[in-house]
Amino acid sequence: MDRLTQIKDWKANLEAARFAGLRVVQRDGRSVEYRTDAEMRQAIADLNREIAAAEGRPPVSTIKFYGSKGL
């Protein structure tokens, strides 16, 4: 299994656990327990950055929002 596929699998398992309300994720005979949902979100964000780097996409660093009064 190549590295990109492995990272995507880890991300899918972590997201499934998070959406199911679980805090313990098991993979390859190892388990990781997250204390908060914020820790899980950060782990998913880290995996997203690794996936983007492996696919050659630039990381998203800033998002700018523009608005108007709609006159």
Confidence of residue 71 (pLDDT cuts 50, 70, 90): low
pLDDT in tens, 8-46: 999 999 999 999 999 999 888 889 999 999 999 999 999
CA 10, 13, 16, 22 torsion: positive or negative?
A: negative
pTM as predicted: 0.75
Q: How many CB atoms lie within 10 A of CB 1?
A: 6
Both structure tokens of 27: 């993979």
Confidence of residue 1 (pLDDT cuts 50, 70, 90): low
- The CA-to-CA distance between both ends of the chain, in Å, stands at 55
CA 70, 67, 46, 18 torsion: positive or negative?
A: negative
